[in-house]
Amino acid sequence: MTNAEIEEAMETLPDIVGDALYNFKAAMVEKERLCAKTFLEFKARSAGEKITVAEIEAMVKADVDCYKAALNEVEKESEYVKFNEKLLAAKKMASLRSAF
């Protein structure tokens, strides 16, 4: 990386990392909310039947919308990790350049 590239990365990546972290946390909250809502819906539908909590949890995991939300969370987490690693690499390069 050139000095200009390092400076640009140090200026832009913190905001990108912050946005990626926000998106990851928002996806996590959305998945938890959706799965809790789905759990309650399955529980209400099975009222009066002998269904265990483990069976309801399995139905939630098999629900297509919960699965999509989980995949979205993984995607957002990987974006956050990717940008964070780039920022850490830029910081390392900056510290190495200033050491000499």
Supply the DSSP string of 63-99, one letter for each residue.
Answer: -HHHHHHHHHHHHHHHHHHHHHHHHHHHHHHHHHHHH
Burial class (CB within 10 angstroms; exposed 0-12, middle 13-18, buried 19+) of 81:
middle
pLDDT at 36: 98
Model-level pTM? 0.84
Rounded CA separation 13/93 (Å): 14
Residue extents of the structural domains in the chain: 3-93
pLDDT at 100 over 80: no
pLDDT digits (tens, 9 = 90+) for 27-78: 999 999 999 999 999 999 999 999 999 999 999 999 999 999 999 999 999 9
pLDDT at 30: 98
Q: Name the one residue in this structure whose structure tokens are 């995607």.
A: 75
pLDDT at 63: 97
Rounded CA separation 22/60 (Å): 25
